[in-house]
Structure 1
Amino acid sequence: MTPLKIVSLLPSATEIIHCLGLTEYQVGRSHECDFPAAVTALPPCTAPKFNPEGTSGEIHDRVTELLQSALSVYQIQTDVLEALQPTHILTQAQCEVCAVSLPEVEAAVASLTGIAPHILSLQPNRLAEVWADIRRVAIALLGDAGGARAEAAIAALKARVDHCQAQVATASHRPTVVCIEWPDPLMSAGNWVPELVSLAGGRPLLAQVGQHSPWITWNDLVKTDPEVIILMPCGYDIATTIRESQGLRDHPYWSLLRAVKTGRVYVTDGNQYFNRPGPRLVDSLEILAEILHPEQISPRYAGMGWRSLQDCLTFAAAE
Structure 2
Amino acid sequence: MRIASLLPAATEIAAAVGLVDDLVAVTFECDHPAGIRDRVPVVVDTALPEGLTPGEIDAVVRDRAARGLPMYQVDAPALGALRPELILTQDLCRVCALPAGAVTDALALLGSDADVLSVDPHSVDEVLAAIAEIGHRGGAPGQADALVAGLRARLAAVAAAVAGRARPRVLVLEWTDPPFLAGHWVPELVRRAGGEPVGGVDAGRSTSVGWPDLPAADVVVVAPCGYGLDDALAQTAAVRHLLPDVPVLAMDSAAYVVRAGPRLVDGIEALAGALHPDAVAAPPPGRIARV
Superposition RMSD on alpha carbons, in Å? Answer: 1.5
Structure 1 CA distance, aligned partners of 2:141 and 2:41? 29
Matched with 1:43 is: 41
Shift, 1:147, TM fit: 4.1
SS of residue matched to 2:279: coil
How do residues 12-31 of structure 1 correspond to structure 2 at under 5 angstroms? 12-31=9-28
- Structure 1 partner of 2:207: 214
Specify the alignment match of 1:275 in structure 2: 258
Between Structure 1 and Structure 2, whose CA radius of gyration is higher? 1
Shift of residue 254, structure 1, vs aligned partner: 2.4
Give the counterpart letter for 1:231 in structure 2: V
Conservation of the 8 A alpha-carbon contact between 2:222 and 2:235: no
CA offset at residue 125 of structure 1? Answer: 0.6
Aligned to 1:101: 99
TM-score, normalised to structure 1, is 0.87
Please point out which of 160, 163, 174 is paired with 1:181: 174
| Selected match of 2:90 from 89, 92, 114 | 92
How far apart are 1:285 and its partner, in Å?
0.5
Q: Which residue of 2 aligns with 1:290?
A: 273
Map 1:238-249 onto structure 2 (within 5 A). 238-249=229-240
The CA deviation string for residues 229-256 of structure 1, in whole angstroms up to 9 with x for no partner, is: 0011001112212222333344xx422x
Write the deviation string for residues 99-133 of structure 1: whole angstroms up to 9, x where unpaired: 000110111111225x4211110110101111221
1:33 equivalent among 10, 30, 35: 30
Task: Give CA deviations for 1:13-51 in whole Å, capped at 9, x if unaligned.
Answer: 111111211111111101101101141222111111111
Residue number in structure 1 paired with 2:128: 131
User: Runs of at least 4 residues of structure 1 off by over 6 A?
Assistant: none
In the alignment, what sits opposite 2:194? Answer: 201
C-alpha distance in 2 between matches for 1:38 and 1:236: 18
Q: Tell me the residue number matched to 1:236.
A: 227
Contact persistence 1:46–1:75 (CA under 8 A): yes
Report the CA distance between 1:225 and its aligned residue. Answer: 2.1
Give the SS at the match of 1:54.
coil
Q: Secondary structure at the match of 2:227?
A: coil
Note the C-alpha offset of 1:72: 0.7
Q: How many residues align?
A: 290
Aligned match for 1:118, one of 112, 115, 118? 115
Q: Which residue identity does 2:51 align to in structure 1?
A: E
Could you tell me which amino acid in structure 2 is paired with residue 219 of structure 1? Answer: P
For 1:170 and 1:205, how far apart are their aligned partners in 2?
Answer: 19
**Letter aligned with residue 248 of structure 1:** V
Note if contact 1:53-1:59 (Cα within 8 Å) is conserved in structure 2: no
Question: Per the alignment, in what secondary structure is the counterpart of residue 208 of structure 2?
Answer: coil
CA contact (8 A) 2:19 2:138 kept: no
Q: Determine the C-alpha separation between the residues in 1 that align with 2:266 and 2:229.
A: 16
Letter of the 2:278 partner, please give it: E
Q: 2:65 matched to which residue of 1?
A: 67
**Equivalent residue of 1:47, what SS?**
strand
Supply the AA of the counterpart residue of 1:85: R
Asked whether the equivalents of residues 169 and 195 of structure 2 are also in contact (C-alpha less than 8 Å), the reply is yes
- Give the C-alpha shift of residue 220 in structure 1: 2.5
Q: Note if 1:159 corresponds to 2:127.
A: no
* Unaligned residue ranges in structure 2 (runs of 5+): none
Contact kept? 2:181, 2:208, Cα under 8 Å: yes
What is the CA deviation profile of residues 244-303 of structure 1, one whole-angstrom value per residue up to 9, with x for unaligned ones? 2333344xx422xx41xxxx20111111110101111101111110111111122123x3
Give me the whole-angstrom Cα distance separating, in 2, the residues matched to 1:150 and 1:298: 27
Instruction: Report what 1:314 is aligned to.
Output: none
What is the rounded CA distance, in whole Å, between the counterparts of 1:305 and 1:52 in structure 2? Answer: 25
Gaps of 5+ in 1: 310-319
Report if aligned partners of 1:55, 1:244 keep a CA contact under 8 Å in 2.
no
User: Deviation digits for residues 126-159 of structure 1, max 9, x if unmatched?
Assistant: 01111221222123222xxx44443222111100
